[in-house]
Each structure stands twice: as structure tokens, then as C-alpha cells.
Amino acid sequence: MPSTEPRGPRQIGRAMIWSFKGLRAAWIHEASFRLEAYLFVIFFPAGLWLGQGAIEKSLLCGSLFLVLSAELLNSAIEAVVDKVSPEFHELAGRAKDMGSAAVFMLMINVMLCWGLVLWQRFA
């Protein structure tokens, strides 16, 4: 359903409030999100420190944001699937597994980015 509200600072403020509510819900209800957030707090400053130049810093730090974003989307998929289909269904399980796989792929991306940058730095 399209929004009929005019766009502007008020709508941007509301969207920001909804985003913070989503982050809070993820923090409260998702152990995986909390673990990834703890790792983010450790590795983000390390990425800023280890990266030489804007591109390396962007790769090191940006890859961490992607994992958190994918975890939020995965949690949203799981919540909707559990609401729509509380009993086990093959397609529901497949959707949850694919969301988890997306997070996993981005974790591999983090390891690849960090590994290549650090390899270049210390090899």
C-alpha cells in the first residue's frame, strides 16, 4: 500500500524511529545479532586502524556493516515465517536456511576482505 503522507523531515524522523525500534528488537530477541554486534565493536576500530587509505578502510569496515544488515534481514524473514507458518513446513525451513546462508556468505566476505588486506600488509 503506497504512502499518502508527504515526504519530508517528519517522515524521515519517523523512519529513523522505526529503524531504531528494529535495531532494539534485534538486540533483545536475536543472540546472533548481539554476537555480531560485539564483533563489530571490536573489529570496526581495528579496520579503521589497519586500513591504509579510504578503500581499505571501506572494505574492512563496510564488510562488517553488511553482516549486520544481512542478520537483520534474516531475523525479519524468520519472524515473518514463524508468524505465518508456526508449524514446520519445507518451504518455511528453506526460507530460513537461505537467510542464514546469506549471513554466512557475508561472513566469508569479511574473512576474505580482512585476509587479503592483512596478507598484503604483513606478507
Span 14-35, average pLDDT: 96
- Tell me, yes or no, if 78 is annotated catalytic: no
Asked if 63 and 114 count as a contact pair (C-beta separation under 8 A), the reply is yes
- Tell which wins on pLDDT, 21 or 86: 21
Give the pLDDT of residue 1.
Answer: 64
Give the pLDDT of residue 88.
Answer: 87
Give the pLDDT of residue 44.
Answer: 98
Write out 9-41 in H/E/C secondary structure: HHHHHHHHHHHHHHHHHHHHHCHHHHHHHHHHH
pLDDT exceeds cutoff 80 at 106: yes
Give the pLDDT of residue 21.
Answer: 97
Residue whose cell numbers read 564488510: 63
Q: How many CB atoms lie within 10 A of CB 99?
A: 19
pLDDT exceeds cutoff 90 at 116: yes
Q: What average pLDDT is seen over the chain?
A: 93
Of 56, 71, 87, 90, catalytic: 71
pLDDT exceeds cutoff 90 at 9: no
Tell me the C-alpha distance between 76 and 16, whole Å: 17
